A and B are shown apart, each in its own frame.
Chain A
Amino acid sequence: MEAVNVKNLVKIYGKDKTAVDDISFSVNQGEIFGLIGPDGAGKTSIFRVLTTLLLPDGGSATVDGFDVVKDYKQIRSRVGYMPGKFSLYQDLSVEENLNFFATIFNTTIAENYHLIKDIYVQLEPFKNRRAGQLSGGMKQKLALCCALIHKPVVLFLDEPTTGVDPVSRKEFWEILQQLKEQNITIVVSTPYMDEANRCDRIAMIQSGQLLSVDTPANIIKSYPEQLYAIKANNMHALLKILHEYNQVKSSYAFGEFAHISFKEPKFNPDQAVTYLETKGLQDIELIKTEVTIEDCFIKLL
């Protein structure tokens, strides 16, 4: 059985603000499924429909086989949810927060301690500190503990790593990997494209619409062109010139390099180097490069 099934989901705010526009996907049991897209893509709306917080305006969705409209009570006792904003009680201590949520979900910390043990040991030294005084990374971990404490079947994490530094992000994804091994289905959203590779499958979303759903590897494989990375002594000038170069299909900055693809598949990239040199650029380096999820996303926009 699929852990989550979304069918032609539509969510409209007010008269005409379509946040989710006919989106369908399904999440298999025990997988990490990523909703990848920028702010305002509709990720949070999808999460809220799936966690029964919002009613869909069209289509349907099930979580663990239960309908999000009819069976909201069953869903509420089966899912864990971590909203995008830090949503714990800032004036309660770490332990009080955890204890509160455990009790609200009809369980005790002891009962499911094995699930949160690896995360909680890091929090334990601060267990008497008020949640409001924790660091960003620690808050994240506490929120995850609170969402996990009742052993949910499906865990919904809405942008857990937004605004978190790369080191803490890396740690967080390692935790999710461990949870996956405990057979918890995880649906997670992120605006960071590089995190897509950490998911088993991803859905790329922009402006309420689904761009693509597949494994990261398949999405990368389906990229139609050969991609090159290029750099020169003056990157800003290089980008400007590439924009106006009629052989170029797409070009954009990508870290240290710029990524480009050419209109003609048989185009010899050496020609481009020559052309750029005539434009006054130096130290030009042009190499074939691997496609990343970010390239795919840009392609789909």
Chain B
Amino acid sequence: MKQFLIFIKKEFAHVLRDRKTLLILFGMPVVQILIFGFALTNEVKNAKIVIMDQANDIASQQIISKIRASRYFEIAETIHSPQQIESAFKKGNIRLALIFPAQFNNNLMHQHLAQLQVIADASDPNNATTLTSYISSIIQDYATGIAKTSNIPYRISPEIRFLYNPQLKGAPNYVPGVMALVLMLVCVMMTAVSIVKEKETGTMEILLVSPFSPFKVIVSKAIPYLILSLVNVTSILLLSVFVLDLPINGSILLLFAESTLFIITCLTIGIFISVKTNTMQLAMLISLMGMMLPTILFSGFMFPIENMPVPLQVISNIIPAKWYYIIVKDIMIKGLGFSAFWKETLILVAITVVMMVISLKSFKIRLS
């Protein structure tokens, strides 16, 4: 155990003393999140919407004024027939339509439940999800507001419809995507490089010629990166919640548990690469080309998988980032629980176990 601890301590010293790597390690996720975040959120401000108010009562008016006050939306026009909605969207500059049914306030007051409809232009799926979530939260905010003053659990349920791209195919929701990307990079590349570095500098020789078992060498190499990656996950989430105003809708604990699983998957891949390569250069190349590219291409983060040719769709199934991306989206955005993605979790576990067995089998207790 003492051996283990000193090894981990040493590993931290390596990371913490290499200022440049450290900067990349912790600076990269921040920069990525901010670049992705602001590049995509700029548009969300003052998005043009149309409103069709069939109720025209106190509740609908109050919600409309709340929307008008928010910095995200700009009410372009008020319309009166469903046909006008379509033509408004077709003009292209309208992102979202909000429809209050007749008797909106009545339903709310008497049945304690009112419905309204949100129609979003999903041709830019990321934008659509962001806008609908903003508008939903404004509406929820109103409902909880009046519920608080009167002690009655008023609920307003927005019925959301997406136009043009109803399944939000390949919704490039960048936070889960960046998380997958950053974890992949940190875990796979850093572990692979740090192990291969010991081979290159010759310290691996000395470690092998010691009673400390090679298996333990590997495990203690991986642990610091597990911890560092969790730090990265935390910083990404903090940024997305507090800087980008993207809430985490599901369980944070679950999110961290799944992230830990994905980190372990990545670590095993990193270890596998390090076992198979002898130079840092090669390890880096394989990590970048062999892992980063497929992550970007096949995780669904950048390009919708459904639009790909079948063989590529099949390939995408072995990319761990794809499953992690789905899980994170489910937790963060949809706010779903474990029952929704136990299958994806199982697949990740399976990939991890397979990789672990392969890398442990191919790990050599000697040189070459």
Contacts and interface: CB of A to CB of B under 8 A. Distances in A.
A86 B200 CA distance: 11
B2 A54 contact: no
Contacts of A91: 13-14, 17-18
Contact of B13 (A48, A72, A96, A103): A96
Contacts of A105: 210-212
A290 to B, nearest CB: 39
A300 interface: no
Kindly state the interface size class of chain A when it binds its partner.
20 to 34
B13 A55 contact: no
Closest 9 pairs between A and B when the two form their complex, measured CB to CB: A87-B202, A77-B211, A103-B6, A85-B202, A81-B209, A53-B367, A104-B212, A51-B209, A91-B17
A38 interface: no
A72 B368 contact: no
A87 B201 contact: yes
A101 B207 CA distance: 9
B159 interface: no
22 contacts: A52-B208, A53-B205, A53-B366, A54-B366, A54-B367, A55-B366, A76-B209, A76-B210, A86-B202, A88-B203, A90-B201, A91-B17, A91-B18, A92-B13, A99-B6, A103-B6, A104-B3, A104-B6, A104-B211, A105-B212, A130-B17, A146-B206
Interface string A103-128: 11110000000000000000000000
A89 interface: yes
Nearest to B206: A87
B19 to A, nearest CB: 11
Kindly state the interface size class of chain B when it binds its partner.
20 to 34
A39 B31 CA distance: 49
Contacts of A3: none
Contacts of A104: 3, 6-7, 207, 210-212
Nearest to A49: B366
Contact of A76 (B13, B17, B201, B211): B211
A68 to B, nearest CB: 10
Nearest to A72: B365
Contacts of B365: 72
B202 A89 contact: no
Contacts of A52: 208-209, 366
B211 to A, nearest CB: 4
Nearest to A152: B209
Contacts of A54: 366-368
Nearest to A51: B209
Given A52-B366, A88-B203, 11 more contacts: A53-B208, A53-B209, A76-B209, A81-B209, A83-B206, A87-B201, A87-B203, A91-B18, A104-B207, A104-B211, A105-B211
A100 B211 contact: no
Contacts of A130: 17
A246 B165 CA distance: 97
Consensus secondary structure, chain B interface: helix
Contacts of B6: 99-100, 103-104
A72 B7 CA distance: 22
Interface of A: 48, 51-55, 72-73, 76-77, 79, 81, 83, 85-92, 96, 99-101, 103-106, 130, 146-147
Contacts of B334: none
A250 B206 CA distance: 44
Contacts of A53: 205, 208-209, 366-367
A54 B205 CA distance: 10
Contact of A83 (B3, B205, B211, B212): B205
B68 interface: no
B3 A89 contact: no
Nearest to B14: A91
Contacts of A73: 211
A105 B367 CA distance: 19
A103 B211 contact: no
A99 B6 CA distance: 9
Contacts of A90: 201
Given A48-B367, A83-B206, A104-B7, A89 B14 contact: yes
Interface string B189-210: 0000000000001110111111
B214 to A, nearest CB: 10
A142 B201 CA distance: 16
Nearest to A79: B209
A75 B206 CA distance: 13
B45 interface: no
A89 B368 CA distance: 22
Given A53-B366, A72-B365, A83-B202, A96 B209 contact: no
A219 to B, nearest CB: 30
B10 interface: yes
Contacts of A77: 210-211
Contacts of B3: 103-104, 106
Nearest to B202: A87
B211 A81 contact: no
Interface string B154-193: 0000000000000000000000000000000000000000
A193 to B, nearest CB: 26
Contacts of B203: 87-89
A70 to B, nearest CB: 13
A81 B202 contact: no
A83 B208 CA distance: 12
A53 B368 CA distance: 8
A61 B212 CA distance: 23
Contacts of B210: 76-77, 101, 104-105
A248 to B, nearest CB: 45
A147 B17 CA distance: 25
Contacts of A96: 10, 13
A79 B210 CA distance: 8
B206 A81 contact: yes
A90 B17 CA distance: 11
Interface string B342-368: 000000000000000000000001111
Nearest to B367: A53
